[in-house]
Amino acid sequence: MFKISDNFSNMKPSATREILKVTSQPGMIAFAGGSPDTSAFPCEEVKKISAEIFEENPVSALVYGVSEGYEPLRNTLKKWLEKNDNISFDNSEIIITSGGTQVMDLATRVLTSKGDAVICEEPSFIGSLNCFRSHGCRLVGVEIDDDGMNITKLEKAIEENPDARFIYTIPNFQNPGGTTLSLEKRKAMYELAKKRGLIILEDDPYGKLRTAGENLPSIKSMDSEGIVIYAGSFSKILAPGIRVAYAVVPKNIVPAFTIAKQVSDVHTGVLNQMIVSRWFDEYDVDKHIFDIQKIYRRKLNLMCDCLDKYCADFIKYVRPEGGLFIWARLDDGIDMMQYVKKLLEYKVAVVPGTAFMIDEGAPCQYIRLNFSTPSDENIVKGVRLMAKALK
- Residues numbered 309 to 338 that lie near a copy of itself (CB under 8 A) are none
Is residue 84 part of the contact set for a copy of itself (CB under 8 A)? no
Q: Which is nearer to a copy of itself, 60 or 84 (CB)?
A: 60
Rounded CA separation 178/327 (Å): 6
From 85-93, 106-114, 146-154, 203-211, give the range in contact with a copy of itself by CB under 8 A. 106-114
Considering only residues 15, 188, 271, 358, which one is a binding residue for a copy of itself as defined by CB under 8 A?
271
- Pick the binder of a copy of itself from 259, 318, 337, 344 (CB under 8 A): 259
Q: Do the Cβ atoms of 188 and 302 come closer than 8 Å?
A: no
By CB under 8 A, tell whether 101 contacts a copy of itself.
yes
Neighbours of 308 (CB within 10 A): 13
In whole angstroms, how close is the CB of 214 to a copy of itself at the nearest point? 30
150 vs 375, which CB is nearer to a copy of itself?
Answer: 375
One of 112, 354, 365, 378 touching a copy of itself (CB under 8 A): 112
- What is the spatial distance between Cα 39 and Cα 35, in angstroms, rounded to a whole number? 11
Q: Roughly how many angstroms between the first and final C-alpha of the chain, as a whole number?
A: 52
Cα distances (angstroms) measured from residue 232 to each of 95, 122, 388: 11, 21, 39
* Bridge partners, residue 286, by sequence: none
Q: Which of residues 12-31 bind a copy of itself (CB under 8 A)?
A: 12-14, 17, 20-21
Task: Kindly state whether residue 260 participates in binding a copy of itself, applying the rule CB under 8 A.
Answer: yes
131 binds a copy of itself (CB under 8 A): yes
> Shortest gap between Cβ of 345 and a copy of itself (angstroms)?
24
**134 vs 150, beta carbon nearer a copy of itself:** 134
Omega before 58 within 30 of 0, i.e. cis: no
Among 46, 96, 144, 336, binds a copy of itself (CB under 8 A): 46
Q: How far is the CB of 177 from a copy of itself (least distance, A)?
A: 21
Per CB under 8 A, contacts with a copy of itself among 336-365 are none
Enclosing H/E stretch for 196: helix 183-196
Residue 162 interacts with a copy of itself (CB under 8 A): yes or no: no
Nearer to a copy of itself, 164 or 181 (CB): 164
* Euclidean distance between CA atoms 21 and 101, whole angstroms: 20
> Could you tell me which stretch among 78-86, 173-181, 261-269, 337-345 binds a copy of itself (CB under 8 A)?
261-269
Q: Please state the φ and ψ torsions of residue 359, each to the nearest 5 degrees.
A: -100, 100
> Distance between alpha carbon 208 and the CA centroid of its chain, in Å?
12
- DSSP label at 260? H
DSSP for 4-61, please give it.
--HHHHT----HHHHHHHHHTSTT-EE-S--PPPGGGS-HHHHHHHHHHHHHH-HHHH
Task: Find how far residue 368's CA is from the centre of its chain.
Answer: 14
Which residue lies nearer to a copy of itself by CB, 124 or 130?
130
One character per residue 165-184, x = contact with a copy of itself (rule: CB under 8 A): xx------------------
Q: Cβ of residue 286: shortest distance to a copy of itself, in angstroms?
A: 20
Give yes or no for a contact between 133 and 105, defined as CB atoms under 8 angstroms apart. no
Of positions 54, 280, 314, 346, contacts a copy of itself by CB under 8 A: 54
Contact with a copy of itself (CB under 8 A) among 23, 76, 98, 175: 98
Name, in order, each residue with C-beta under 8 angstroms of 301's C-beta and a sequence gap of 6 or more: 211
**Nearer of residues 9 and 338 to a copy of itself, judged by Cβ:** 9
Give the C-alpha distances (Å, rounded to integers) separating 96 from 78, 244, 253, 258.
Answer: 11, 7, 15, 10
Q: Which one among 25, 38, 88, 92 touches a copy of itself, defined by CB under 8 A?
A: 38
